[in-house]
Chain A
């Protein structure tokens, strides 16, 4: 199950601006960007369990929203999904795994932590080049780019 969490729009002005500036400095001027945190939880549980995880453990419900499916309301954007390679220790994933165990009393098989960036731009090739310069380090990260 992939749990996606993001800052509510009204509170995300600074993080969006900072990301846009980083991309711009790397040569990709963009106007519309969004960020999300991703938790990939490998466990044979019900949607209700995952909702409990998202609501009670992973999301600050005052400032954030979550989704157990695709983040709604986004189109004409590229979605860049960044993960640590499986060979790299995922410290956040490990900590969340322990927290999930504490919360539900059952350990998931694994938890991995990642990030999603939603970026409006003209060229996927240019986006890929800039992403490798700014948002990922291919020594430890893997990433995918998908057009929404």
Chain B
């Protein structure tokens, strides 16, 4: 036996907690006692490796025990919050085009008409590592999510990376605690990490967003995503007893020890540097190339990535139904000064585990050698349903799979409803509208992201049809990216593609987490619509980030947002196909007080685009075309950027009528597909005035528009009309010669004419006879086009 923890079975609660802190397992008392009870029944003491394995497997990162556990909220008990909201919506919708959901490393939906292809999509976070080492954290976040797509089914070929970040304000004056990195430092490192990994892998990074708020000052959020194409006959995977356990890719070292358990802990001042992971994109590219060749030759029966928990999680997961026998002395090591249990839980990057029938090893070795990709045979999958791990004959782990995967104790978490902030309406605009528009365009959450986007190679693979920067000059904002994945299908005569977009609104979440979820799903779906995607086939991902779930109000926020996710998914007919959550995003500030992030929910959406040649962008296209506003302008500035700048106490957020939105969007999509709508842009951050300004300066065309005709709730004030962010609205440019047919399609819907696109001049917004604002396009664009980096 390797290092045995003598006396573990007789420790009292306080000694158990002390041991947990010493080894950094992040197990709670109930979990430690469960482990203790198991080894007592076995009449032996555990090895260090066994407790490390339990800590990894039972970690928040691997088991999602907060979201998947029981919770009581306002008299209602959820046995499994995740299953009873997110999964339930998908089950209820029961879409036949959902090919694999919630059971693999990524969700898969049908792609194209041939029936040959599936589209895999996954997004996850890498928050804690990025707070400690932004560059390495972001790189390995990207590497990890790419491996999720490589490890779904028998392997999908990545065709798109996505990136969404939350940082503290770059102009923040808040004093930081010792060892905390400043927001600019984190921002720069994260962008460089995402850039270097994606670019070196040859995968376009072409869809994302950046959000600045001081709530993220100590805990940045880094959401990274990946989409890939997989043949539909390669979706099922199966590990068979006798299959060899083959590790391919990077070597194992001491980097990244305890990454999984790290994500179950708050970040404190002295965070261990061993939790830092280092990425090596070239090694992962070799893995990608090997897998695509070996998959198509049927050289393995199952695979998964080594992510959090390293070998322990990957082999434990692949062998959960069979059993596994692992000999760690066979592992390829970066450094021989490493303990056996460290080899077992190390999170060294760029490693995948394959289940290889013995008769196919030789052929696989040929492929590996031809790609210069390192590998080792660690052992074999068995049929005894036990995990047996040894190092030179000494036992490191000997546990039944049933206990490893089913022994995690469940405990109910209390949840409480957070008091909604008081509402005090802003009755009069505090500054002229023109000045407000310029200020909003320059606001860090609205201004151009070109200095970040242009660092990414978003053209590699040659399929980025609708790009993140759009318009006449290729520098306007985009709502969605459209990808034509011919590099994966190999068919340049098939113009089927897909669009990817996001919805994110933590400012709304501070007021009402339920509405935040609704608004975020709506925004993601609306963004897809603005590219011409088939939104009736939209599929979505949820990525929740929150502070410590030990705080009942944090749990209450989570429950409300999850309930919102269910209602929105069912309402829009958009099933969740995958998701992830990250908790404990809080740290102590310079004064020693807890500094939690706001509840943050990223909705990432994907939908097919029948013919990528007919996809549309946001910029005005032609003078003389008509401008329409679809949707109803409502009262309230709650969650808006205008509210943040000028009306902090206006917290009114109106409910979202999903049924009406779905009806509206269905009609608009028909118009887009018929080619009546050359440009569309959603109304979101900054409101209608910002949307119109972006459409105008991106197209280099002016517009004179009268908002008096806009469909509005009774009593909407001028500044609410211009800058309010009520959802379910978008602006459309309609081709002059198709206006009549367009109007027939939208008859009876809140779609109102605002005016026309002009060849010259700036943007003029009127309310009947009154000019609300008038500004030159160069001035508008000059305010918006700031260098963030």
Contact = CB atoms under 8 A, between A and B. Distances in A.
Given A137-B189, A140-B133, A91 B280 contact: yes
Given A25-B184, A89-B253, A139 B282 contact: no
A65 B49 CA distance: 52
B133 A87 contact: no
B133 A89 contact: no
Given A133-B185, A137-B189, A140-B273, A88 B132 contact: no
Interface residues of A, number: 14
A25 B187 CA distance: 14
Contacts of B181: 137
A139 B276 contact: yes
A88 B278 contact: yes
Contact of A88 (B182, B185, B255, B282): B255
A85 B254 CA distance: 14
Interface in B545-577: none
Given A137-B133, A139-B276, A140-B133, A89 B334 contact: yes
Contacts of A22: 184
A101 to B, nearest CB: 12
Contacts of B132: 139
Nearest to A25: B184
A134 interface: yes
Contacts of A91: 278-282
Given A140-B136, A140-B273, A89 B255 contact: yes
A94 interface: yes
Interface string A85-108: 001110100110000000000000
A33 B255 CA distance: 34
B280 A140 contact: no
Contacts of A137: 133-135, 181, 185, 189
A89 B280 CA distance: 8
Given A89-B334, A133-B185, A140 B276 contact: yes
Contacts of B136: 88, 140
Interface in B15-36: none
A139 B278 contact: no
B334 to A, nearest CB: 7
A87 B136 CA distance: 13
B282 A95 contact: yes
Specify which of A91, A95, A140 lies most central, judged by the most chain B CB atoms within 10 Å of its CB.
A91
Contacts of B282: 91, 95
A87 B280 contact: no
A94 B280 contact: yes
A92 to B, nearest CB: 9
B222 to A, nearest CB: 15
Find the residue from A87, A94, A95, A134 having the highest chain B CB count within 10 A. Answer: A87
Contacts of B280: 89, 91, 94
A79 to B, nearest CB: 22
Nearest to A21: B787
Contacts of A140: 133, 136, 273, 276, 278
Interface string B278-310: 111110000000000000000000000000000
A71 B135 CA distance: 28
B381 to A, nearest CB: 30
Contacts of A94: 280
A102 B541 CA distance: 44
A76 B132 CA distance: 34
28 contacts: A25-B184, A87-B254, A87-B273, A88-B255, A88-B276, A88-B278, A89-B253, A89-B280, A89-B334, A91-B278, A91-B280, A91-B281, A94-B280, A95-B282, A133-B182, A133-B185, A137-B133, A137-B134, A137-B135, A137-B185, A137-B189, A139-B132, A139-B133, A139-B271, A139-B273, A139-B276, A140-B136, A140-B278
Closest 9 CB pairs of A and B: A89-B278, A91-B280, A139-B273, A139-B133, A140-B133, A88-B278, A137-B133, A139-B132, A139-B276
Given A88-B255, A88-B278, A91-B278, 8 more contacts: A87-B255, A88-B136, A89-B253, A133-B182, A139-B132, A139-B271, A139-B273, A140-B273
